């Protein structure tokens, strides 16, 4: 029995390697032919032709028939030796037809502008920038504890001082003005306002920081876009179970009530929770973010996710019932997701895997809020795998019919964070109790995609338009505010951040295509991030900022990178004007202001 199981696993593994091999062959042709093109085009080498090895799988000398170099698979068990084209044959055919690599439709830039009143914003988050971790009566958060635990954060960096924004309201508002943003997305640290997480003690000094920040923004004609929760739960609440304990729903509601009542008269844009996927999965499944739990990856993330959805819904209802009429703001949740394409676009099982990746990512949270209840894909797969493992019910908690109704529709817009795209393929993890095993997919990236300073982030603008269209189709065409998008670098400081300029131009242009050509209802765009800050478990090593922050200088000065002028030009033009229809004032360079 065991031997049989082992043999079948081995065969499955060999088949996977073969499939992976096919995708690798495509990457191989892509990169080698592209290098040959560069030699021809850029270096003047007289490259006259290219021959792909080989037309079909054949006898590969000492390796016999085990290694297949062919563009066509040959079935050596069949006396007729049938030839079947592989993915690489389709790919090579296309390269020959195009005689190289013309710009694809996806890659071409378009001209045009966004709607009037478009929200142009940038973002930061409390723990990543504020510092003042013990200032004026602030309570501890799970991130204070996590970052002070050795080896949890790269280089043992922490947010004790970070960008010292707690003491730098004026500097922060000044750089926002340079960018010319209409809005600023920032976060409130729950434990700065309510040190033990409950309203039993309100820390007025902490509240006053946010009140002063809001007023300074309004004075600069910048609208605050406030998020109530960005991962830094008060440690006192973690001590009683955190997001696993459903008492959190009421506690979050009380905290939100306080914030609406104290700041709401000056704030029109709200987000309840940032990136529930990361809270549930990264914090409670993989355990590489606070609170750092990883020993129940098949159950805890789903319980946490369930409570996050309920907490969001209750706060939306609170605002809707008690504050909206007077304060006249809008409120939603921010959901993050990668886009996913099949690793081999000619394989149905890869296409299915790509769909599952998206449904388990964006769909986990968006489906209950926009469509009602978890998606059938998640419910069915997790229930079947739970029962097959001998459990009596699904590891995915169920909403009652009343809860489904109460949660559905708790949005005023779709708050969306997006960074990258992956290529998916099916993986059978056996009976492992894990979110990844439920999803039943692995992911790779195309090795020709441009890198960033973060291992997980490849520059893939085309995926942005696709996932925006997915949101439109799947969730009933909601108004969308992109609440984060950006790129990182690491290593030596170079204020000439060409890759960021490239990133913003290409990604925002895809958003414009989604808006103008696909009628996706896009209302705003937010660049992550205003300044270099503590990138969670990777510390200060990955820098997402439009402004560089020198953390070894006690004054942590903000210095603009070259991409500041790119982004502020896009903002001034409200998009990408056609130079042929110019001149356009918004494209004229401005006299250099003084550096902050």
Which positions are catalytic? 275, 484
For residue 274, the minimal CB distance to ligand NOJ (Å) is 5
For residue 155, the minimal CB distance to ligand NOJ (Å) is 16
Q: Which residues contact residue 575 at a Cβ distance below 8 angstroms, ignoring those fewer than 6 apart?
A: 111, 112, 113, 114, 508, 512
Q: What is the DSSP string of 89-134?
A: HHHHHHHHHHTS-PPPGGG----EE--TT-EEEEE--HHHH---TT
CA distance 554 to 87: 55
Strand partners, 459: 450
For residue 558, the minimal CB distance to ligand NOJ (Å) is 17
Residue 478 in tokens: 């909601």
**Which of 205, 192, 185 shows the shortest CA–CA distance to 141?**
192
Four-residue CA torsion sign, 475, 479, 484, 487 = positive
CA distance 500 to 43: 27
Task: Tell me if the bond preceding 460 is cis, omega within 30° of 0.
Answer: no
By CB under 6 A, tell whether 187 contacts ligand NOJ.
Answer: no
327 or 483, CB closer to ligand NOJ?
Answer: 483
Say if residues 110 and 202 touch (Cβ distance below 8 Å): no
Given candidates 125, 308, 530, 571, which one binds ligand NOJ under the rule CB under 6 A? Answer: 125
Given candidates 217, 535, 545, 564, which one binds ligand NOJ under the rule CB under 6 A? Answer: 535
For the window 77-116, what string marks contact with ligand NOJ as x by the rule CB under 6 A? ----------------------------------------
CA distance 568 to 565: 5
For residue 341, the minimal CB distance to ligand NOJ (Å) is 21
Of residues 6 through 25, those in contact with ligand NOJ by CB under 6 A are none
Four-residue CA torsion sign, 586, 513, 451, 288 = positive
22 or 422, CB closer to ligand NOJ?
Answer: 422
350 or 484, CB closer to ligand NOJ?
Answer: 484
Given candidates 114, 209, 243, 528, which one binds ligand NOJ under the rule CB under 6 A? Answer: 528
By CB under 6 A, tell whether 275 contacts ligand NOJ.
Answer: yes
By CB under 6 A, tell whether 171 contacts ligand NOJ.
Answer: no
Q: What is the CA radius of gyration of the chain?
A: 26
Residue 474 in tokens: 């799947």
For residue 217, the minimal CB distance to ligand NOJ (Å) is 20
For residue 551, the minimal CB distance to ligand NOJ (Å) is 15
275 or 314, CB closer to ligand NOJ?
Answer: 275
Given candidates 130, 484, 489, 497, which one binds ligand NOJ under the rule CB under 6 A? Answer: 484
Of residues 392 through 451, those in contact with ligand NOJ by CB under 6 A are 417
CA distance 213 to 203: 16
484 or 497, CB closer to ligand NOJ?
Answer: 484
Say if residues 478 and 471 touch (Cβ distance below 8 Å): yes
301 or 342, CB closer to ligand NOJ?
Answer: 301
By CB under 6 A, tell whether 544 contacts ligand NOJ.
Answer: yes
For residue 336, the minimal CB distance to ligand NOJ (Å) is 6
Say if residues 194 and 234 touch (Cβ distance below 8 Å): yes
Q: 394 to each of 188, 280, 364, 388, how far by Cα in Å?
A: 35, 17, 15, 10
Place of tokens 């903000």: 558
316 or 544, CB closer to ligand NOJ?
Answer: 544
334 or 566, CB closer to ligand NOJ?
Answer: 334
By CB under 6 A, tell whether 130 contacts ligand NOJ.
Answer: no
For residue 533, the minimal CB distance to ligand NOJ (Å) is 7
Place of tokens 């019919």: 401
Say if residues 507 and 482 touch (Cβ distance below 8 Å): no
CA distance 210 to 218: 12
Residue nearest to ligand NOJ (CB): 125
By CB under 6 A, tell whether 274 contacts ligand NOJ.
Answer: yes
By CB under 6 A, tell whether 147 contacts ligand NOJ.
Answer: no
Q: Which residues bind to ligand NOJ, rule: CB under 6 A?
A: 125, 128, 274-275, 417, 484, 528, 535, 544
């Amino acid at each position: 029995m065991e031997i049989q199981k082992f043999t079948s696993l081995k065969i499955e593994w060999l088949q996977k390697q073969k499939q992976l091999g096919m995708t690798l062959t495509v990457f191989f042709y892509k990169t080698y032919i592209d290098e040959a093109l560069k030699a021809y085009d850029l270096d003047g080498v007289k490259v006259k032709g290219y021959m792909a090895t080989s037309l079909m799988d054949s006898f590969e000398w000492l390796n016999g028939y085990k290694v297949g170099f062919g563009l066509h698979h040959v079935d050596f068990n069949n006396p007729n030796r049938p030839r079947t084209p592989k993915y690489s044959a389709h790919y090579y055919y296309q390269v020959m037809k195009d005689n190289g690599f013309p710009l694809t439709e996806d890659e071409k830039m378009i001209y045009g502008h966004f709607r009037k009143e478009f929200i142009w914003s940038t973002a930061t988050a409390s723990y990543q920038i504020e510092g003042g971790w013990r200032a004026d009566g602030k309570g501890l958060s799970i991130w204070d504890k996590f970052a002070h635990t050795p080896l949890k954060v790269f280089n043992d960096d922490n947010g004790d001082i970070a960008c010292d924004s707690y003491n730098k309201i004026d500097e922060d508002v000044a750089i926002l003005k340079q960018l010319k943003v209409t809005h600023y997305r920032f976060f409130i640290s729950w434990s700065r306002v309510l040190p033990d997480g409950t309203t039993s003690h309100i820390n007025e000094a902490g509240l006053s920081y946010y009140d002063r920040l809001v007023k300074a923004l309004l004075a600069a004609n910048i609208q605050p876009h406030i998020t109530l929760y960005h991962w830094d739960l008060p440690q006192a609440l973690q001590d009683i179970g955190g997001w696993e304990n459903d008492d959190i729903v009421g506690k979050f509601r009380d905290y939100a009530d306080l914030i609406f009542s104290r700041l709401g008269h000056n704030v029109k844009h709200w987000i309840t929770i940032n990136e529930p996927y990361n809270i549930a999965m990264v914090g409670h499944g993989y355990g590489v973010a606070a609170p750092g739990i990883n020993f129940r990856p098949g159950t805890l993330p789903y319980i946490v996710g369930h409570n996050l959805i309920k907490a969001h819904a209750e706060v939306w209802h609170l605002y809707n019932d008690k504050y909206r009429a007077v304060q006249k703001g809008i409120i939603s949740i921010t959901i993050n997701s990668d886009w996913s394409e099949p690793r081999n676009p000619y394989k149905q099982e890869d296409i299915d895997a790509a769909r599952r990746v998206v449904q388990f990512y964006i769909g986990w949270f968006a489906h209950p809020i926009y469509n009602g209840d978890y998606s059938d894909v998640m419910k069915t797969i997790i229930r079947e795998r739970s029962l097959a493992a001998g459990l009596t019910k699904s590891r995915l908690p169920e909403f009652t019919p009343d809860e489904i109704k109460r949660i559905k529709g708790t949005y005023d817009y779709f708050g969306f964070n997006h960074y990258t795209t992956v290529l998916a393929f099916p993986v059978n993890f056996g009976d492992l109790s894990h979110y990844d095993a439920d999803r039943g997919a692995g992911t790779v990236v195309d090795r020709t995609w441009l890198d960033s300073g973060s291992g997980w982030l490849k520059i893939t603008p085309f995926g942005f338009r696709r996932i925006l269209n997915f949101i439109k189709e799947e969730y009933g065409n909601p108004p969308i505010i992109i609440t984060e998008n950006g790129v990182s670098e690491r290593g030596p400081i170079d204020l000439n951040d060409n890759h960021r300029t490239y990133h913003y131009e290409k990604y925002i242009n895809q958003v414009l295509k989604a808006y103008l050509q696909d009628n996706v209802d896009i209302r705003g765009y937010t660049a992550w991030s205003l300044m270099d800050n503590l990138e969670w478990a990777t510390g200060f090593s990955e820098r997402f900022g439009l402004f560089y922050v020198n953390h070894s200088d006690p004054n942590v000065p903000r210095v603009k990178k070259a991409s500041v002028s790119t982004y502020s030009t896009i903002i001034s033009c409200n998009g990408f004007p056609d130079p042929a229809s110019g001149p356009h004032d918004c494209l004229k360079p401005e006299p250099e202001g003084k550096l902050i």
